[in-house]
Structure formats: C-alpha cells, structure tokens
Amino acid sequence: MKLILFIVLFILSGTLFSQQEYISNTNGFKITFPTDWELEKNSGSMEIKGKSGVSDVYLVVKEHRDFKNKTISEVANDDFRNALLEQYSSLFDNLSVTNSGLTTFNGYDAYGFSYTCDLFSDIKLVSTHYFLVHSSRLFAVTASSTTDQYPKDEKTINDVLSSFVFTD
C-alpha cells in the first residue's frame, strides 16, 4: 500500500512541477503553461503567448478610458460584438461564429466569442476568446488550434485556460 501511495505521489509531483507559471505584476494575473510549451513574452500586442505546435493560448491586455469602472456586461454590447465580427472577418475567410455572449470564465464574468475560419486554403482554425474587464483594463484570453489538432490538445488547452486568475 505504501508503495502505491509513493508511486501516485511521485507521478503527481512530476505533473505539478512540470509547469511554468507566468505572473504579471503589472496587469495583476497569472497563468500556467506546460513546460514543453514555448513562451513568448511581450510580443507585439500580446503580453504572454504559450505555444505547442499549432495550438496556442495568449493574453492581450488593453487599458482604455471606455473600460474605466465598467463591467464586461456594460462593455460587451452589440457594438462590441459587431466590432469583433468585423475585425475577424477582415482577417480570416469563411468565419463562422460558433458561440458568443456573456458567460463565466474561471468564476469571472466574461464575454465569450468562439469561431472557426480558414487560416489558409487548406487549414481550418478553431478559436475561443474570453474577454474580461478588470481594474479598468480589457483582458482577452484566447486559445486557438487547427481543427484537426484541437481534439488532441483540447485537455491541455483547457488546463491552461483554467489556470488563469487575477492576482490583484
């Protein structure tokens, strides 16, 4: 019995310590990625991006006067959704929104926006964005993958997404 307990604890310790945690003191959040994921910090508009093959999870944080003292339900109106549709339709062919609306993300009020599209003529993309307003900033937590790779990476992607928390 002690041997079984030791083996279980050994496996769990390997799982727990084989992750890399990203903490943003500036924007007050943390998120955890598997150690075999490549991390890009402060790349373009992204504060952090974790990538494994064709799957990735990234965060964009924007401060804007329109978000000051607002909740996501006040920000995520028809104009917000239409702006998302316009932006992503201009970037991708055959955009098809699979889900959009107010939701909960890790216990926080959020606006979810999911779609599929053509990344290239022969590659389809599946993507989910969670928009949150916190401390007068808009956070976009995004996960994406190709449609053929997503089922293989879905659990890992969901584990990364579920690790996101505000720290301030």
- The contacts found for 37-44 with CB under 8 angstroms, 24 or more apart, are 37/160
Confidence grade of residue 167 (pLDDT, cut at 50, 70, 90): very high
Q: Domain 20-166 carries which CATH code? A: 3.40.1000.10
pLDDT beyond 70 at 153:
yes
Per-residue pLDDT, averaged over 18-42, amounts to: 93
Per-residue model confidence (pLDDT) at position 166: 96
Cα 164 from Cα 130, distance rounded (Å): 11
3-state secondary structure of 168: coil
pLDDT beyond 50 at 13:
no
Confidence grade of residue 89 (pLDDT, cut at 50, 70, 90): very high
The string of pLDDT tens digits covering residues 110-125 is: 999 999 999 888 899 9
Contact 88, 117 (CB under 8 A): yes
Confidence grade of residue 63 (pLDDT, cut at 50, 70, 90): confident
Residue corresponding to tokens 């064709």? 54
Cα 50 from Cα 18, distance rounded (Å): 15
Mean of per-residue pLDDT scores for the chain: 88
Q: What is the full DSSP assignment across 27-66?
A: TTEEEEEETTSEEEEEETTEEEEEEETTEEEEEEEEE-GG
* Residue 14, token pair as written in the block: 């390997």
